[in-house]
Amino acid sequence: MMNLQSPELAADAARVMPWTTTEELAQLLSLINDHMRHAHETARL
């Protein structure tokens, strides 16, 4: 899991994905986390 608290990693992410802002990246990670949590809960049923 990426640690967005690290300026170096944030800079790396910005280099790899120059079209995204840090805020957009955070929203994307949040969306992925929500999706994974939901998928995990569904898999246990």
Q: Are 16 and 24 in contact (CB under 8 A)?
A: no
Interval 20-35: pLDDT, tens: 678 888 888 899 999 9
- Look up the pTM and report it: 0.46
Per-residue pLDDT band at 4 (split at 50, 70, 90) = low
| Spacing of C-alpha 14 from chain mean position | 13
**Mean pLDDT over residues 30-43, rounded?**
89
Question: In this model, does residue 14 exceed pLDDT 60?
Answer: yes
Portion of the chain with pLDDT greater than 90, in percent: 11
Domain boundaries, the chain: 7-43
